Amino acid sequence: MVREIPEITAAAATDLWDTYALPRRPVVVRGLFRDQPIADAATVAGARRLLGAAPVLIKEEYSRSFAGDGQAPEPELASLDDYVGRYGDEPDSGRVVTEWDVPPTLLELFTLPEFCRPQAPVHDLFLHAFLAGPGNYAHLHFDQDQRHVLLVQVFGRKRVVVFPPSASRWLHPFGNLGSVRLQGMAPAERDAFIDLAGGMQTILEPTDALFMPLLVWHFADYVDFGMSFNIRFRRNAHNRFLSADNFAGDRYVQAVSEPFGAVRVGDPLPADLAAEFARITAVHDADHPDREAKYRAMRATFRDVARQRGDGADPVYVFPLDDMDERQAMLGMRDTFRYRPDGRSSADMMVVDDRPAAGSQLRMVRDLVRRHGYPDSLFARVLANKFAKATVEELSRGEVARLVAYLQSPSGLLRAPVTV
């Protein structure tokens, strides 16, 4: 039998930050959204009534396109109703909505849990929606943004398997992907493997939420046609620095970064983490002849720190993927600012820009909101759930820039464009 992820009631979730997030323990909160309007979207019929016109971008499941033959169909912008009609009941369609900026009509249906609300300027919020038919899956991976995640089930059931970062040696990682294909295993084999590698699983029902700490390995599959969304929250300044903003995520970056999630806002780092962080920033800020040299120096440092901790041990399997990791990172560097030898210093990167928004930005937001026809109450929910702010004047410059991008994107539409 596979271990189940521990469960708590909605009432007990008030202590989630101290009891589960800082100690980095996953937990299922049953019925967390049971008393909210989103509970009326707990069936396909209810979701169509409340969210049928919502825009969704239909794509190929991403590990398939990663491993595919280059023939992936183009993403299509459609409505949730279109998705239901075309793919809803189709098993294993491979056509999914994934990491889709949550549309306003969904933001209108819930209240942000207290434990997700930012406690400091460095804390930010990102929300993404997921929609797929039965048999679809999200391949085993960890998220490189280093935020905590609350995964909320809207309708249908979703099975989620999690492994702690310390399980990496069993998962034969390549970058942030596991090479182990849980979706290809027979049930008994899969259960035995999850047990062996120290994983746990759960089945989320509508209105349930799963808290996943930063950098945890996760795999999900759709038991039914289902929809969920996630809230990504409370990343501290150290994890922001160590995230994919600056470094190509691999199991060493994961192992080194994860314990920083235990540090409370305003607290100094404990001595061991402070020494490690100083070592990492010293290499980051040193002179390097070029990006490749900087990448190799950083990777060697993360690997060393992980090994000195006794973490990041070599995989149990026989294929060393380090060379592939390095080649992939080199390719990834072609279109990113990461590893620039003349880039900003780590001290500069730790500072958060929380200057207030400019007047021209605020005018642009008001103009876009009027053109979209958002009612005032809906715009208030958008501000409350995307930024935990009550008015547009409270947003920082960076937040307004994100809001403008959202309002200019298809995600921000009240209704998907009609497709013929």
Cβ proximity to Fe ion, 147 vs 386, nearer residue: 147
Cβ proximity to Fe ion, 143 vs 250, nearer residue: 143
In the complex, the smallest distance separating the C-beta of residue 142 from Fe ion, rounded to whole angstroms, is 7
Instruction: List Cα–Cα distances, 400 to 78, 353, 376, 416, in angstroms.
Output: 27, 12, 17, 23
Rounded to 5 degrees, what are φ and ψ at 147?
A: -95, 160
Site string for Fe ion, 96-135 (x = CB under 5 A): ----------------------------------------
**Nearest-angstrom CA–CA distance, 213 and 21:** 6
In the complex, the smallest distance separating the C-beta of residue 73 from Fe ion, rounded to whole angstroms, is 23
In the complex, the smallest distance separating the C-beta of residue 251 from Fe ion, rounded to whole angstroms, is 16
Q: Are the beta carbons of 145 and 207 closer than 8 angstroms?
A: no
Name the residue number minimizing CB distance to Fe ion: 143
Q: Which two tokens stand for residue 280?
A: 């990492």
Cβ proximity to Fe ion, 113 vs 178, nearer residue: 178
User: Alpha carbon 46 to chain centroid distance?
Assistant: 26
In the complex, the smallest distance separating the C-beta of residue 356 from Fe ion, rounded to whole angstroms, is 33
In the complex, the smallest distance separating the C-beta of residue 336 from Fe ion, rounded to whole angstroms, is 20
In the complex, the smallest distance separating the C-beta of residue 218 from Fe ion, rounded to whole angstroms, is 6
In the complex, the smallest distance separating the C-beta of residue 162 from Fe ion, rounded to whole angstroms, is 11
Q: At what angle do helices 322-332 and 291-309 cross, to 10 degrees?
A: 140
Neighbours of 418 (CB within 10 A): 9
In the complex, the smallest distance separating the C-beta of residue 290 from Fe ion, rounded to whole angstroms, is 32
Cβ proximity to Fe ion, 17 vs 142, nearer residue: 142
Q: Are the beta carbons of 278 and 238 closer than 8 angstroms?
A: no
Instruction: List Cα–Cα distances, 88 to 28, 49, 204, 222, 351, in angstroms.
Output: 26, 15, 18, 11, 45
Taking phi over 0 as left and psi of -120 to 50 as alpha, with beta for the rest, 31 belongs to: left
Q: Number of residues in contact with Fe ion, rule: CB under 5 A?
A: 1
In the complex, the smallest distance separating the C-beta of residue 230 from Fe ion, rounded to whole angstroms, is 8
DSSP letters of 93-123? Answer: --EEEEEEEPPHHHHTT----GGGS-SSTT-
User: Among the candidate windows 32-40, 65-73, 143-151, 316-324, which touches Fe ion by CB under 5 A?
Assistant: 143-151
Q: Which two tokens stand for residue 228?
A: 């969920």
Cβ proximity to Fe ion, 143 vs 325, nearer residue: 143
Q: Which helix (H) or strand (E) holds 200?
A: strand 200-204
User: Among the candidate windows 46-54, 140-148, 238-246, 314-322, which touches Fe ion by CB under 5 A?
Assistant: 140-148
Cβ proximity to Fe ion, 143 vs 208, nearer residue: 143
List residues bridging with 109 in a β-sheet.
none
Cβ proximity to Fe ion, 176 vs 361, nearer residue: 176
In the complex, the smallest distance separating the C-beta of residue 307 from Fe ion, rounded to whole angstroms, is 26
Q: Are the beta carbons of 386 and 107 closer than 8 angstroms?
A: yes
Site string for Fe ion, 274-313 (x = CB under 5 A): ----------------------------------------
Cβ proximity to Fe ion, 82 vs 143, nearer residue: 143
Instruction: List Cα–Cα distances, 5 to 29, 129, 148, 210, in angstroms.
Output: 10, 22, 16, 9
Cβ proximity to Fe ion, 143 vs 221, nearer residue: 143
Residue among 82, 143, 276, 399 that touches Fe ion (CB under 5 A): 143
Nearest residue to 85 via CA among 52, 61, 128, 54 = 52
| Subset of 200-229 contacting Fe ion (CB under 5 A) | none
Cβ proximity to Fe ion, 124 vs 143, nearer residue: 143
Nearest residue to 136 via CA among 150, 157, 153 = 157
User: Alpha carbon 396 to chain centroid distance?
Assistant: 22
In the complex, the smallest distance separating the C-beta of residue 401 from Fe ion, rounded to whole angstroms, is 24
Instruction: List Cα–Cα distances, 205 to 96, 135, 221, 235, in angstroms.
Output: 19, 16, 13, 27
User: Among the candidate windows 17-25, 139-147, 161-169, 191-199, which touches Fe ion by CB under 5 A?
Assistant: 139-147
- Kindly state the DSSP code that residue 213 receives in the 8-state scheme: -
Cβ proximity to Fe ion, 99 vs 292, nearer residue: 99
User: Among the candidate windows 128-136, 141-149, 309-317, 377-385, which touches Fe ion by CB under 5 A?
Assistant: 141-149
Interface contacts to Fe ion, rule CB under 5 A:
143
